[in-house]
Structure 1
Amino acid sequence: MQHPKHQIRARQTASTLTVYQAYRPALGLPAARDGRFPAAWSRERMTWIKPSFLWMMYRCGWAEKEGQETVLAIEITREGFEWALRNACLSHYVPALHADQPSWKRQLRQSPARVQWDPERNLRLAPLPHRSLQLGLSGEAVRRYADEWIVGIQDVTGLAKEVHSHVRAGRLDAATALLPDERPYDVDDEVLAHLRAPNERPHAGEGAPSAPAA
């Protein structure tokens, strides 16, 4: 399936979407148990959320990297996610979007969220031509995320390890069958206009999203 170069894809319902993070067990396990982050989780640091399961696997090395042994699937409200997008700044300077580098740097410092578009990954974690969204939250966005947006937290470390075992054995069809159902995320163009250069936006009908699951 052909994807636009810059497109959000996520596991989703009519009111939520799922993002992924990985933590050491001392943080991740209590978060999954209680449905919220423990007191030891820092609200002062930027935290990155990722709608792509396979990009999370690339980042955490299939839950084998030190400090990232517990993978969490975090269901958050669409309302919160889109607030972050509206208030985000691209993490890199794009002449077609920013007046000049100083104004971009000011916007980056002032924004409670930032966006990176990184190459999506396949089952072998090799880069693909299209991009996956990574959303960094800081300040007000971190507080809203922790206190308002989270609907549920699930430990999916077992899923990560099971998918990885199939990949290592060359059973790619079995691995694919276990992957979360990530579909194009339906959002108004104006929400993403400041995060995609004009030549990076999908044309009409390209990558059209399917209706959210109930």
Structure 2
Amino acid sequence: MTWIKPSFLWMMYRCGWGLKEGQETVLAVEIGREGFEWALRHSCLSHHVPGLHESQAAWKRELRRSPARVQWDPERDLRLNPLPYRSLQMGLAGEAAARYADEWIVGIEDVTPLAGQIHGLVREGDTERAEKLLPEERPYPVDDEVLAHLRA
């Protein structure tokens, strides 16, 4: 499974600023909106939610047939502490992973040096300069009907 993590700081939390073994290179992958929304529409939550899913068995069936899965994880601050709101993470498998690799990617940038620079500033206590280097992130505008099946 390939995971899309649209949040820079959540990704830094996950890869330890690019210092975790096997995660030393950090890539920013840009994908087209059409592909991302296809994945949202064809996804399932990564966990069972009573009230949203008819039953545990129904959720498991949905999970098996969905080429994408979504989980909502706490967003992170510059020190990688959890914040009181969540960011979407999306796992792609099967058809979704193939479409991602073959159709959706419109750009790839190695942001490993940026991760190291920001991390260095955070370690030095210069969070003001570190914050100015963060990639711009905005809430993703999407129709409610696209996310209705993914709200826990």
TM-score, normalized by length of structure 2? 0.99
Matching residue of 1:112? 67
Cα offset for 1:92? 0.6
4+ runs of 1 displaced by more than 4 Å? none
Matching residue of 1:61? 16
Gapped regions of structure 2 (runs ≥ 5): none
Gapped regions of structure 1 (runs ≥ 5): 1-45, 198-214
- The yes-or-no answer on 1:125 pairing with 2:80 is yes
Cα offset for 1:141? 0.2
**Which has the larger helix fraction?**
2
Counterpart of 2:79, as a letter, is R
Cα offset for 1:95? 1.0
Matching residue of 2:96? 141
Supply the distance in 1 between the matched residues of 2:109 and 2:51 (Cα, whole angstroms): 39
Supply the distance in 1 between the matched residues of 2:60 and 2:126 (Cα, whole angstroms): 46
Supply the distance in 1 between the matched residues of 2:86 and 2:127 (Cα, whole angstroms): 22
Supply the distance in 1 between the matched residues of 2:114 and 2:8 (Cα, whole angstroms): 10
Matching residue of 1:162? 117
- Residue identity over aligned pairs, in percent, reads 76
SS in 1 for 2:63: helix
Supply the distance in 2 between the matched residues of 1:109 and 1:176 (Cα, whole angstroms): 40
- The yes-or-no answer on 1:71 pairing with 2:71 is no
List per-residue Cα deviations over 1:164-203 (Å, max 9, x = no partner).
0000000000000000110011101000000004xxxxxx
Cα offset for 1:109? 0.8
Matching residue of 1:191? 146
Supply the distance in 1 between the matched residues of 2:64 and 2:82 (Cα, whole angstroms): 29
TM-score, normalized by length of structure 1? 0.70
Cα offset for 1:96? 2.0
SS in 2 for 1:128: strand
SS in 1 for 2:125: coil
